[in-house]
Every structure is written in structure tokens, then in C-alpha cells.
Amino acid sequence: MTLAEKAYVSLRKDIVEGCFAPDSPLRLADLSERYGMGFSPLREALNRLQAERLVTAESLRGFRVSARSLAEFEDALHARLLVETEALRLSIAHGDDAWEASVVAALYALRRQAGRADGDVDELKTRHHAFHRALLAACRSDWLLDFFERLYAATERYRIPALTAAGPQKRDIDAEHGAIADAVLARDTELAEQLLRDHYLRTATTIRSGMSPA
Amino acid sequence: MTLAEKAYVSLRKDIVEGCFAPDSPLRLADLSERYGMGFSPLREALNRLQAERLVTAESLRGFRVSARSLAEFEDALHARLLVETEALRLSIAHGDDAWEASVVAALYALRRQAGRADGDVDELKTRHHAFHRALLAACRSDWLLDFFERLYAATERYRIPALTAAGPQKRDIDAEHGAIADAVLARDTELAEQLLRDHYLRTATTIRSGMSPA
DNA sequence: AATTCGATAATTTTCGAAAATCATGGTTGC
DNA sequence: GCAACCATGATTTTCGAAAATTATCGAATT
């Protein structure tokens, strides 16, 4: 793996996880020290992230972490529902036994991690992502999967602060995931789509309540 | 505008227009001579294009123009229908007088150019793109507009060879554009969506017939 | 004849410095 | 007092060369 790729992975992770404040400038000298590399690989990574809308660039004024706003979150959520319901529909239509098995496995792994008291939050997030990706993986559309990844990263930036703030978590998220998996395995397209939609809308409500309507 | 931005614009245009053969390697020495700049701005542009799926990269083996295949075209077309019908619906719902005017203007400009005998094909393509963007511009979703631009570029790579091959062009594309604009201005969402869908499906048929099913 | 090996060439990747541009703070003139 | 202006420092952008890796070609070997 080249330095530029490492820079891309590290920067992306740190931005999505909120290590840099939204809208804060990403100065090359700082990044160079933080990640222990020269300017070239960092600039390449920043250009890729710019194309993914995680960072913004202004000519001769460098890069910044993309700003967050309630409007952008609502937009990303709406796009996500559009893309993921379609991808889920296709996945249910095309998925074979191996796909079903991978969904079961991803759900199992997610529950296993969620059940641990000594929660490694990082691993939990990875498995949550993996479960949602497994649901769509059989859709046979590289474009829809690409959009899913983009939107997942974009919304993750909003979800994480809401999770750590973790108010009165009345929801049984585990049950929601289970119900989606059941509907998927039963090939009940309509139900699965409805459950997925509700799942996201509930998450959205949680996040909205924790955000100032900037 | 910085050199890296110029490199991005030039490279993107040349790739979309097919100046480089699909799957051909993009060697830095060649690009450096072609565009008259050093490696740094070129690599930055290539990284952005990689994030847009117009070029692929392999570690230590450089960049290539993305390969084309019938499967990828079908995928992009399907994603396009999903994204654009939704964006069109939203645009009709939210668009104001200024938006209507911009649609009329874009259609007028497109027809004006299409009517010229001394066709500047480049300008025609620009206006065609502008018309389709104008239809969606009022959707108030940056994400959907972003996806539209991505998918437009991806499918343009297939459309252009089909156009220059220009077999028996039985379609009256001008009439199709006019009908879409009429439906949009009449705020007839269902009809507009149907016409847009038909428009793309017809284009797809033309392209399919001109492509070997690789 | 086919294959492995090694040397050479070609190419990508990375760095460090130079060039270009932007931001800051103090100074001058009104 | 205050705005315009210029020097200075900070930052981005670009280049050219060095480092690292891959591809190529021919000779030696089986």
C-alpha cells in the first residue's frame, strides 16, 4: 500500500469519526506531522476526499473539512433512502444462498460485538457498516453500492456525535436489525424496504433532536 | 485556476470524449507532455477522477482509463433513471418561475445549436448537458445533482461513439426534449417522468445496438 | 524449445525546495 | 481616528530529482 493510500484511509477515518472539527482547515504542515509523510501523498488523498465531498477545496487557500448542516443531513438521508431501498430490492431479487449466509453472518457478528460489555466502539461501527452493506451486496449494481458507501460516510459524520451523546436510548436497534434480516431472508421485499426505511427515519429523528437547526 | 484544476478539467473532458481508449494506461510522462505541466498537478487530477470512477488506479502501476462494458453501461443507465426521475419529481415540486425560465432558455439554446448546419459538436454536447441539468436544477438536493453529474459523465462515454456512428437516426430527439419541457412546465410530474424514462431507454437502445456485448 | 534468472530500462511514488499566492500587522497619510 | 498601503510571514502549489518498484529483454540452463 502506497503512502497516498494510507493517507486516504487515515484521513477519511479521522474525518468521518469527527477527529477534525467540521469546517476546520486541514493544513498540510499539520497533516504532514500528524501522519508522518510529505505533502505529495497528503494532497492526493485530499483530492480524492474532495471528490467524495468529505472535504472542500478553495483555490490557493487549501482544504477544509466539509461543513455540517441539518439541511445537508436531510438531503443525504433522503438520497440514502432512495438508493438503499432500490439496492435492497435488487439484492433480494438477485441474492443467492451465499448472500443469505453472509447476511446471517454479518448480523451475528454485529450482535456479538453489541453484546460485549467492554465495547470496542470502533469495531462495533465497523460491523454495523458491514451488516448494512451485506444487505445490499447482491444488488449487482456497482453504482448503487458506490453511492451507498458515499452516503454512509456522509451520514456517519452526523450519527456518531448523536450516539456518544446517547440520550435516553429507547430504541431496540438490535431488534430492528433482526427484523430487517428476517424480512430479507423471507424475500419479503415490501416489508424489508418498509423496515429499512423506518430504521433510518428513526435514526434521523434521534440525530435531528441532537442538532441545532443550523 | 490552479494547474491541478486545469488538469482535472482537461483530463475529464478528454476521457469522457474518448480521446483516450478505454482501459489504456495514462502514463505521467505522456500526460506531462500533452498538457504541459509537471507530475504533481496531474496526479492530483487523476486521484479525483479515480474517486469519480472515470479512471482506475493500481498500486505502483499507475492509472488507466476505466474500461467500458455493456454491463457497466446498463448499470449506470439504471442508476440514472432512479436518480433523475426522483430529482425531476423534486424539481417540479420545488421549482419557481426563475427555474421555469431557465428550462425554457436551456431548451431554446439547445435547439438553436442543433439547428445550425455548421454544427460545433462540442457546443451541442455542452448545451444538451445543460438542458438536462436545468430540468433537475430545482430539486434542492446536492447529492442527487452530484450523482446526476457522475452518471452523466459515465454514460456520455458510451453515448458519444454511438452518436458519431450515427446510424439511421429515426428518432426526433428535438421533439422528445420539447415534450419533456412541456410536461415539466405544466407541472405534470407523472408524464414528465415517463417521458424522461422513455427518452433514456431509447438512447440506451441506440447505444446497445452499436456495442459488442463485451 | 521453454524457462528461469539477472541486469537494464521504464515508470510510479515520494520528498524537499522553489515559486506563487494569501494573510497579518504595522506604518503612513489624510 | 481611520482607511489604504506595503513589508513580512505563513501557506499553498508546482517543479525537478531521488527513491522505490515494476516491466523488459537477453543469456544461461534444463
pLDDT of residue A116: 86
Per-residue flag: A59 CB under 7 A of strand C: yes
The residues of B between 140 and 199 with beta carbon within 7 Å of nucleic strand C are none
Residue-level pLDDT at A168: 55
- Percent of chain B past pLDDT 70, that is, above it, reads 93
pLDDT value for A161:
67
Which ranges of chain A does DSSP label H, i.e. alpha helix?
A: 3-16, 28-35, 39-51, 70-94, 97-115, 121-136, 142-165, 173-185, 189-209
What would the pLDDT profile of B170-187 be if each residue is shown by its tens digit? 678 889 999 999 999 999
Percent of chain B scored above 90 by pLDDT? 83
**Residue A24 approaches strand D within 7 Å at CB:** no
Interchain proximity A75–B45, CB inside 8 Å: no
- State the ipTM, two decimals: 0.93
| pLDDT reading at B118 higher than 70 | yes
- Average the pLDDT over B54-76 and give the result: 97
Q: B113 to chain A nearest CA, in Å?
A: 32
Q: How far is B143 from chain A (nearest CA, A)?
A: 6
Q: Which residue has the higher pLDDT, B139 or A161?
A: B139
pLDDT at res. A207: 85
* CA to C1' distance (Å), from B18 to D14: 28
pLDDT for B163 equals: 63
Angle between helices A142-165 and A121-136 (to 10 degrees): 150
Which three cell numbers, joined as nine digits, stand for A93? Answer: 431479487
Quote the pLDDT of residue B164: 61
Give B56's contacts in chain A (Cβ within 8 Å). Answer: none
Residue A48: closest C-alpha in chain B: B48
Contact, B37 CB vs strand D, < 7 Å: yes
Tens digit of pLDDT per residue, chain A (214 long)?
A: 999 999 999 999 999 999 999 999 999 999 999 999 999 999 999 999 999 999 999 999 999 999 999 999 999 999 999 999 999 999 999 999 999 999 999 999 999 998 887 778 889 999 999 999 999 999 999 999 999 999 999 999 998 666 665 555 667 888 999 999 999 999 999 999 999 999 999 988 888 877 655 4
In angstroms, how far is D18 C1' from B87 CA?
Answer: 51
Residue B207 has what pLDDT? 85
pLDDT at B154 over 80: yes
Q: CA–CA separation, B140 vs B49, rounded Å?
A: 25
Q: What are the φ/ψ torsions at residue B57 (nearest 5 degrees)?
A: -130, 145
Q: Which of strand C's nucleotides are less than 7 A from any protein C-beta? A: 11-17, 21-23
Q: In the CATH scheme, what is the homologous superfamily, with its name and number, of domain A70-209?
A: GntR ligand-binding domain-like (1.20.120.530)
Cβ neighbour number for residue B161 with a 10 Å cutoff: 14
Write down the domain spans for chain B: 3-65, 70-209
Measure, in angstroms, how far nucleotide D1 C1' is from residue A21 CA. 39
Q: Across the interface, do B50 and A50 touch by the CB < 8 Å criterion?
A: no
Residue A115: predicted pLDDT: 86
User: Cβ A75–B2 below 8 Å, yes or no?
Assistant: no
Residues 1-30 of A with CB under 8 A from B: 1-2, 4-5
Give residues with Cβ within 8 angstroms of B85, minimum separation 6: B193, B196, B197
**Domain covering B3-65 in this structure, CATH number:** 1.10.10.10
Touching A: B residues 50-79, CB under 8 Å = 50-53, 59-60, 72, 75-76, 78-79
Chain B positions touching A4 (Cβ under 8 A) are 47
The 3-state secondary structure of chain B, one letter per residue: CCHHHHHHHHHHHHHHCCCCCCCCEECHHHHHHHHCCCHHHHHHHHHHHHHCCCEEEECCCEEEECCCCHHHHHHHHHHHHHHHHHHHHHHHHHCCHHHHHHHHHHHHHHHHHHHCCCCCHHHHHHHHHHHHHHHHHHHCCHHHHHHHHHHHHHHHHHHHHHHHHCCCCCCCHHHHHHHHHHHHHCCCHHHHHHHHHHHHHHHHHHHHHCCCCC
